[in-house]
Amino acid sequence: MIPRSGGWLAAVLAMALGSVGPAWAQTPPATPTPPAAAEAKEEAKPKTFWEEFKLFSYIEMGATFNVKGGSKGVPGSTAGDWTNTLRSYDIDQGYTFNMAEFSIKRDPDEAFPFGMGVVLAAGMDAQKNHSIGLLRENDDVFPFRNTPWFDPQEVYVSGRVPIGNGPVLKLGKFVSLLSYEVIESPLNLNYSRGYLFNLTSPLTTTGGLVSYSFADWLSVQAGLVLGWDRSNTDNSGPSGTGQIAVTPIKDLSTNLNFIVGPEISGDKNPIRWVVDLTANYTGIPNLTLGFNFDYGWQQNDVFLASQDLDNRVAQWYGIAAYAAYDFLKDFRIALRQEWFNDVDGVRTGTVGGVTLFSTTATLQYNIWKGLYARTEYRHDNANAVEFSCRPAAACTQKSQDTISVSLYYKFF
């Protein structure tokens, strides 16, 4: 498939980079300003309206190889290419153009109480991020090979109410509050995304959020959204989502997140909820430590109903630990260890359930300025035969091993 949106995105990035020109001094001051006074004056100078905007943009490509051959197609689909089981962005073997993204955001403040955010993405990763009702229908299922490469990942407006520390209201489509890992690969410690990112929580939500900061160490968010990765009103009602963010000590941030509400399962809208806990510590020089825990529960799941089971309540939970160390100035080694229990098999489509283990090691090298290269080894293991599958045939392996190489460039 040839992407139709990559050209305009490249043009936008080129225009943004090309618009930055030199500023020339006209007349030197009569009396030189001491360096210390000049620095203090510069620090005191307020930011202009345009300087408040935050820009982020990158482009990434990669290739993944399965040591044991992998799966032929995706079980239950008509895909015929070689794939890696239970993966998301790195599901396809061989070369992939992952993502080109442009993001512009501004948070509301006292000087100007209105903000906004627009994140536009194109590529094979973006193809898997579509929200139902927006470039994706209810019956479109992963891995979404028939949907466009372009995705409006986030589009929202925000405003600050001049009360106390200023509650902030956000309306539109935005990324989910849940999960330690994020959609953007350069912002993650590893190249591949773990099971807790892929299987336990939504990527994006559409609706409204209110956030309030009680203190430097405590803030909360809460709101109503249309559901998991959903931008239409086909669910029988909205879902509630929220976050309690606590920084108990310097360099340690923790978030308790949740989402609960009706989600389509067959011809019904049973309740689904997930509790998500994340923590991140950077208090030791060059070292980053992370943690993630998820627990999910759903009533009357369609997968269990298809097996004609009396008990149709599904559960899933898992933990992940992360560690990354920067060394020799330009190198980073990152490790991730995961354990995920799909108790009833509803998140993986496994009859009887399955427990998954995963160990990932990623080496990153900063080649030049914003240019980075990664190589990654990942070992997945299950307590049941889950890998090396074929359409209309049984899976044959309890483990899979993959090697990935990738290259990304951050423009700003």
What would the pLDDT profile of 12-42 be if each residue is shown by its tens digit?
333 333 333 333 233 334 445 555 555 555 5
Q: Give the mean pLDDT of the chain.
A: 88
Res 74: pLDDT: 65
User: Which amino acid is located at 83 in the chain?
Assistant: T
Greater pLDDT, 128 or 40:
128
8-17, 133-142, 169-178, 395-404: lowest mean pLDDT where? 8-17
Res 298: pLDDT: 93
Query: What distance in Å separates the CA atoms of residue 265 and residue 267, rounded to the nearest whole number?
Result: 6
Domain boundaries in the chain? 52-407
Residue 65 has pLDDT above 90, yes or no: yes
CB 229 within 8 A of CB 215: no
Res 43: pLDDT: 58
Residue 253 has pLDDT above 80, yes or no: yes
99 C-beta neighbours (distance < 10 Å), count: 27
What would the pLDDT profile of 141-171 be if each residue is shown by its tens digit?
787 777 899 999 999 999 999 888 889 999 9
Length of the chain, in residues: 412
Q: How many Cα atoms occupy the beta-carbon half-sphere of 219 within 13 Å?
A: 16
Helices (H), 145-279: 195-199
Phi-psi region of 409 (alpha: psi -120 to 50; beta: other; left: phi over 0): beta
Candidate CATH numbers 2.40.50.140, 2.40.160.10, 3.40.50.720, 3.40.50.11750; the one for domain 52-407: 2.40.160.10
Res 3: pLDDT: 39
CA distances from 15 to 18, 48, 49, 261, 295 (A): 5, 21, 20, 43, 45
Strand (E) positions, 131-251?
150-160, 168-175, 204-215, 218-225, 239-249
Q: How confident is the model at residue 44 (pLDDT cuts 50, 70, 90)?
A: low
Mean pLDDT over residues 253-270, rounded?
Answer: 92
